[in-house]
Structure 1
């Protein structure tokens, strides 16, 4: 701690002075009733104020503790506390807050000068250098002296700064007082008050430079204090001004801004005082001058390399960046919009003009960046930019393409032309159904783009037409249209005559003759021939048509003929379809081999491969199999063997009886049917529930599983990822409703097991049992491709200490062909990491609450809510 002076003045005006000597960390100043106590300290020196009984305890920021003994009293004559430094005096008001703490409030500042009753309490000492900023721009920028150190600093010029320190004055440190480490500080000198009419002159005059600041009318004003009536010479940058100290002890001089060189630099300020007795005193210090913004640049060009802002760039907003003197502010103006730039501590600035700040059109604009530094200096820089957000003229001709806005096959074959208008000489890019051509508008602004037969894809569709022009600034204008392309007759079909292209005797006579039918594009007309007979048909509103040939138009006999239909659509396109037709009679044999394997039951595994139905029929017959409400046409070979496969996706899951109907139509149209019922059972049993395991020093000796009507088996996952069945003896424990598996050989530590349940239909599901390998943080990754054959639907982590399971969608989908849902059981010390999962809610199953997660687009995870989950 530095030496601290203090003064005590009693009610009679007697003054006692003393010091708190350097070196000690705590002091006691005794107080009486009605005293004024002034400490040579600043506000910033205090850390806290507290009341301890009647004592005032002051803690400084350096840890020093000053106790004013008996400061508080109830006599009606309270003590008053002041702090003084650099010629200023503040009274300290103390307000009780929480606990013993006090809040300090500092009263108005009193300044040394003309004789005042407070002069005994004022100190000039502790004149550490301080910095005060100001400006030299006008009256409103004059710097106040209140609450500032007497010996301080200010600003010079349009933005320069100056630092001025005290050079003379201050209170002397009197002898005596407390020694370092002593508990009590005792005042050492006592004086009595003197009359204002009889001051004692100092043998050496005092002088202090109190402030150098930008003042009124663009001048720099230096003020200070000294001996009243004395002459003071102030020299700055070789220019000396002389003034007289006023009667109140203050003086000031002003310098025009032109007295200082432009730039950022330091210069000497010297004050010399000569009193009326010829005594002199001199003060000097360094003055910092700042009259310019020393850096302001653009780091980029608006509109990029071509200095042009086009439509796309304007739509994204325009960002300007640059650098400036650190601590400055920057405003950026473009057109009627001015933005305050963001400036980081290193002086890098940026400002972004939003799309709405940039008016559309074609025009030149200037971007002006203006910086103001901490000293108030300003500087501007400008860059030019061209704004062009308008493309040229463009139309697509309104005249119908190919006269009716429909391109048929004949028109496509001889080429198609698309035309329009644009600015003369403009390059127009034309797209017809994805085929791009380029053309140029002639002197009249007309353009035409030609497409060859190969450019127009065959089919029935709407072809989008796009025309685009791009100007030199990169602006584009696009016009669109469309044309209908129809180069084929859609939906033309010829149904088999009488269902099988065979007409027998009954069919020839039934319902007035032979019906020929089919479909065609609506709006078409059809002409049908059967042998040598002809008939015209009408296509109805949904595209169906039919014609009847009377018995007299179909000669009797056994022969082959042809049915031909020719359709003409509304666009003029034509198409034909035909069938060979047999005119004849009988069905000999029709049977079905038993489906479902040896047990006549289709399991989930068998259903996953599809159900093969087969049998025998008369050679040349057509067989249609109806399975569970859906018809399938069988394949019949030359020997009459037929077969058909019901695809897996058409076999409903569940346990039910599926009806099968086989209808055979021979080559003359005779029909025979056969009905059959097949048992379907695709529901897999629930995954086995593991109840316990038994281990010895080297591994696992046995496990117990909840009893089941299904066949249970245990498999071991080997180190090479192969999976083998574990040889074991089983024992049913009906008391516990468990099946015990006693392994013939111990399953070694580090191995995992799969316990499967298989029902009578051959459906199976497996539980993956993660075993404790006597090390925490067991990591389980389900990437073994061999797991798929065991239909794993449950992961059991409860017997693995601090197990960690990591699973992806691909791994989950590989585990089972039965379902894409995986159940994970475990405890709170287990963790499941889901890669790409999303939590969707909870579900209670058999009394256990599970957190539900979607894994990818297909997988579902049900995780015991005790387990920690990382997504």
Structure 2
């Protein structure tokens, strides 16, 4: 009778053991303990195999039990098998940051876990801890996906049956999921070259991608295939072996265009989202500090009192749609930004940047590439002034102004460097209502004149001499209107210089000042001696206007060189003896010992001032005075002639 073969012993959950093997069909199989006591019996089946269960407690791990078969009065030689130790359970594999695979599981406290190759060659071992758990680190050579190893637990001199495992692919790490309203994007890290498969709750593949050489991956899923709240599995496959899946939930749409500002009294967060959704802002501890609702226009604004947050705090902005949260957008509360920023390009090419901020804060000026080109400090008056050297930036360049307070930067305010502005700008309103604007600037620059509403009303060009003169026709502007003057050089506008249109300037009443058309009276008896005849520019109505023609300073009387005798004055007054004459300033004076009064005052022989004639009222008074003095002269002359005749 042959000895039973292919023996195997397995411990059952109830503590009994099952022994299997092969023998002669119909033979009786007997199992004895080391003392020779029968502890189990069975029969070989027609297929030549048998299974015998020995009761719990009848043998222990490490015992060598004998197995014999007998038939027709013949008994085989015993075959020996060792009762195995318990097999390790709950076996799993995970990976450390160093890439080593870790084999974990449960065993008998104090037992040794041996890790061997499929050929039985030892690899490493570990001990089951008092809590019944073990964690054994495998060498890198046995840590690749697809590698095969065998575990054996040794307890009280007995070995468990071997448990073979295959090293899986590593689980995808750092998995994040976002939803922009069009696609769901899944990112993470993995083993370069591995395949990432995204499956839905039914196991259907909805997206795949490959881990890049940098160990990162990005997979996208059209929103038509999933919706917020759906569960997805992310599985990495390496060398044909799958890793453990990572389960994620499709989030609500992430808030978009999130911006944060700090005006010194409150922090304001703005952005876009799904209309009707709730916006929640939480601090670094997860405490809700503000909430809001996305409007029908898809925009939201949430404000937080500065007592709840401070510059430098990290905040998370989350949108909740139909009970599903979005991925958070993390922002940092900035310091208060600089305000009232003004940029001026100087004639030497340097650029002045001024503004206001928090006293003691640092102001940093950066160019379009983010390089620092100027720094300064806000003064105790809350103002700053920083000059950027010539050649550092040019008109049209963008520069950033950032205020840093207590180590926390503000949001950067971006401004453009303007061209050099117009200088020495003057504006004059002419008598006809037109307006002249003059000034200086860079030759070749375009000058644009705008009204108070910003509408262009005139343009011109700075001449080669660096000056410009633009006339705006009457009817477009009126006194009191504001106008802007902007220079554009090489396509870059300057700061606008704002000026106010003044009242019209006086024409000073300057007439033609020609000679009177009626000639000179003899010895003061001419027809003009009594002022009754109107000369071209004489004491009557001249061509320059009503009343007396106007001299250099606007006095009413015509201006004669000396106004005496029978000679026609240079300014056309026909005069006789003792008729009014005017000095160089158009001041009326009598012939007899009268000089021209200073500044247009008419002086008497005794030096007493007579009425000035600089304005219209004075002009009329001067005319009246002239007529009166002329009449006095005529009466005096007539009296003298009578006395001569009487004599």
* TM more than 0.5: no
TMscore range, shorter length: under 0.3
TM-score (norm 2): 0.21
The structure number with the bigger radius of gyration is 2
Which structure has the highest strand share of the two?
1
